[in-house]
Amino acid sequence: MRSEWKEITLGDVIDIKHGYAFKGKYFRSEPPGNILLTPGNFAVGGGFKDDKLKYYEGPVPKDFVLTEGDLIVAMTDLSKQGDILGLPAFVPASGDNHRYLHNQRLGKIVIKEPNIIDIRFLFYLMCSEKYRHQILAIATGTTVKHTSPDRIKKFKFRCPPLPEQRAIARILGTLDDKIELNRRMNETLEAMAQALFKSWFVDFDPVVINALRAGNSIPEKFAKRAAYYRETSIDKISRSPWREKLGVREKLPLSSLPMPVRFARTKVMLKT
């Protein structure tokens, strides 16, 4: 029942720990090294993204090493609109050769009352429009926007019982998973479309293949493409590390595949 939703503040159930000021002389733009998380690792709307990684090879205080499932919050934002200010993200699993580090411009959520607040529900609460509006309204700075643990902890909300929180988080999480799956599918389809377009209208692969089949001479500008297709077969592709990605399951001549399929598979292999 909604009547059981009690009004509380975030400060009643969480603390927020500041990050550490890691020394700039140990920063790297490429691996190896631990991964130093920054506001650039927050997606607009909330969540983690890994396309702007920074690496660190200096000494690391153990209290500032993050673990999988930690909830962090962006407390600085360089964008004019404050696109990620105050937004949360879950730390992903660390790899064998790196750890995620808790940088000074990020806060780490510490749950004080696990019997009152569910961490996944908290994530979606901190992505909500009401929360975002308050954080932006009381942010400081113009070019660079800032918030603080105290400002975040002042946010008031109606807190459902724990079972309802978990049910809400489960439904929203399922929707997020479907959205992410659709996004990845769209990226794959776009890459295939680009590969096919280049194959047909830049490299003129259909022209080259038809000429080879007919035994016609190949213009010099297409000689390299022709040489490749004379040697290419699914048998060769099946021995490559791309076998699974290309979806090859049996050794068939390349010419036996439908034209769009063989072009897509060939281009993926060539791209590597």
Q: What CATH number is attached to the domain comprising 25?
A: 3.90.220.20
User: Rg (Cα) of the chain, in Å, rounded?
Assistant: 26
Within this chain, do residues 54 and 108 fall inside the same structural domain, yes or no? Answer: yes
- Tens of pLDDT along the chain (272 residues) come to 566 899 999 999 999 999 999 999 999 999 889 999 999 999 999 999 988 899 999 999 999 999 999 999 999 999 888 999 999 999 999 877 889 999 999 999 999 999 999 999 999 999 999 999 999 999 999 889 999 999 999 999 999 999 999 999 999 999 988 888 888 888 888 888 888 888 777 777 777 777 777 777 777 777 777 777 666 643 343 344 434 444 444 444 444 444 444 444 444 444 44
Distance CA 120, CA 170 (A): 8
Burial class (CB in 10 A: 0-12, 13-18, 19+), 21: exposed
Pairing of strands 100-101, 34-36: parallel
Clarify whether residues 83 and 151 are in a common domain.
Answer: yes
Q: Angle between the 259-271 and 205-214 helix axes, to the nearest 10 degrees?
A: 110
pLDDT in the model for residue 232: 64
In a domain, 50, yes or no: yes
The count of domains in the chain is 2
- Is residue 262 in some structural domain? yes
How confident is the prediction for the chain on average, in pLDDT?
Answer: 83
Give residue 231's pLDDT. 66
Whether residue 252 sits in one domain with residue 145: no
- Output the pLDDT for position 20: 96
**Helix ranges, the chain (H):** 10-13, 119-125, 129-137, 149-153, 162-201, 205-214, 223-231, 234-238, 243-246, 259-271
The predicted pLDDT at position 26 comes to 94
pTM of the model: 0.71
pLDDT of residue 222: 74
> Domain for residue 184, yes or no?
no
Domain assignment of residue 171, yes or no: no
> Which residue range forms the structural domain that includes residue 120?
2-160
> CB within 8 A of 62, min separation 6: which ones?
none
263 domain residue, yes or no = yes
d(CA 183, CA 45): 15
In a domain, 176, yes or no: no
- Whether 132 and 7 share a structural domain: yes
Same-domain status, 240 and 139: no
Give me 181's structure tokens.
């799956």
Structural domain contains residue 233: yes
Same domain, 44 and 139: yes
Tell whether 119 and 66 lie within a shared domain.
yes
Q: What is the pLDDT of residue 2?
A: 64
| Nearest of 157, 131, 168 to residue 7 by alpha carbon | 157
pLDDT tens readout for residues 83-110: 999 999 999 998 778 899 999 999 999 9
- Is 166 a domain residue? no
Residue 149: closest CA among 16, 14, 21: 16
